[in-house]
Every structure is written in structure tokens, then in C-alpha cells.
Amino acid sequence: MGFPGTWMTESESTVYRVVPKCACSTIGQIMYYSDHGEFFDGDIHDATGGMHKWAIEDSQPLIEKNVQNHASYTFTCVRNPYTRILSSFFDKICGIQRNGKRYRGNLVPLLIQKYGIEVEGEFDQIKSFRRFLLFARDTVKWRKPMDPDIHWSAMSGHVSTFIVNGGSYDKIVYTEKFNEGMQDVLDNIDTKNAIDLAEIPRFNESEGHGPKRAHPVGDYFDDLSMHLVYEMYKRDFDLFKYDFKDPGNKMPIGEIDLDEIHAKLGV
């Protein structure tokens, strides 16, 4: 199976396991800049050079060898499950993608027809989001009407494939404490170009795709919504130490235990 979703700098200074909707655009650009002294011109997800990615065939043996030997400092990044699924809704369901089309072609029409979701004009964001949650739960729990999308499948699933196939992490960064966590990564690697995180722009490639969130995060989640989120992301809350009981509290409530992560996600 290899190491899907894994990126590595050309200099092999660091290896990163991408978790969608968890600052991956910014992290990719920092990695690119660390080697080249400039940012990639465009969305880093579109880069086919200047960086090793598992999706690039020629990169695979290099990534595989590095990861299996744990030759470089290796990290990933996680985010509060409540804000992550909400961000997925506004970006992927409500938004127009960078190719000028709706995400995954017939996905939004399907949601409008089967789940009664609205995405146009002055729609009721809370009502539509809660209906989207039903759909997301159906995909995660029963793989119907389709397999779960990478943007709302559990973070623990993304993190675990890397471990199961022979990788291990030195650091898991919190999106909510990004500069602090990313500084830890930079302090542990040799970069060709110095990086001042205070000066790095945030490459939020999904920003502007969809409507602005009209309410505080907590308002989108009633008792049933919280139950659905817990059904999908119980492991994420437990392993990455987020607060399930308060959707309005995006900050972690504990410290990640890397030994626990490797033990529980490595089987």
C-alpha cells in the first residue's frame, strides 16, 4: 500500500503525512520554501515538482526508503473535528472549486435531492449543515451512498495508514497552535532557507470558495449533531485530546501521547 498522502522535501529534511483540512496548504508551502527560498506559485497541491509526493511515481521509492528507515524528522497535523467538518461543508459542499466547478461533479445535486441540502443564495446554513452531517455520517459509517471523502473521513484513519505501513511520527502539530507546533518541527530539521513563521502567510486555499460562516461554531451543533460527530470521530477526540462536550471550544484539552498514537493506530 505504501505511503499515500505523504510529502517530503527534495532535500529530505522532513517528511509530512497530509491530513486534509488541517493547514496542509500552509505546511506544504513552508516545506517548499525551506528548500527553494520561494513559495510555489499556485496551490501547493498542484505542484508536480520541487517536492516529493507519494502521488508522483518517481518520488515513491525515495519516500518509501526514507520512511522505512525513519531517516528524517516526520510529522503530521490535526484539527478539532467540529471545525474540520464545518470547514469541509463550507469549502467542498457550498463552494465553487478552483477549477470553477462544484466539488466532485454530481455530489452537490445528490445532496440537494437526497438530503434536502441548500447551498445557493441566502440559505439556512445551520439547517443545511446538519443535513450534510447526516450524509457524512452515512458515508463514514456505512459507506453509502458513497465512500467517505478524504476531507471528512476521520483524521485517525489518515494518520494510521502511515504507521501501519511502517512509518512513525516525531511530532503531531495542532492546527490551533500552529506556530508553536511548526516551530518545533523547524527546530528539529536543517533547512536550506531560514523560515520566520511570523512572516509566513496562511495559504488557505479553500478560503473564498464558499459563503462566509454566519454563526459561531457552537451554533451549528445541537445534541443530535454532536452525537453524529461523535459517531464519526470518537477516536479523533480521544487520541488527539479535543473537547467533545463543547463544540465552541476548538482548543485541545490535553497533550498528544505519541506512544499511544503509535500503539493504537498501528494495528
Q: Helix, strand, or coil here: 16?
A: strand
Residue appearing with cell numbers 511570523: 198
Residues 6+ apart with CB under 8 A from 53: 6, 7, 8, 47, 59
Give per-residue pLDDT as tens, 218-258: 999 999 999 999 999 999 999 999 999 999 999 999 999 99
Please give the tally of structural domains in the chain: 1
Q: Are strands 171-174 and 73-78 parallel, antiparallel or unpaired?
A: parallel
Give per-residue pLDDT as tens, 170-213: 999 999 999 999 999 999 999 999 999 999 988 876 666 678 99
Domain span at 254: 1-267
Give per-residue pLDDT as tens, 125-164: 999 999 999 999 999 999 999 999 999 999 999 999 999 9
Contact of 218 with 232, CB cutoff 8 Å: no
Size (the chain), residues: 267
Cell of 140: 463514514
Q: Note the pLDDT of residue 97.
A: 86
Contact of 10 with 47, CB cutoff 8 Å: no
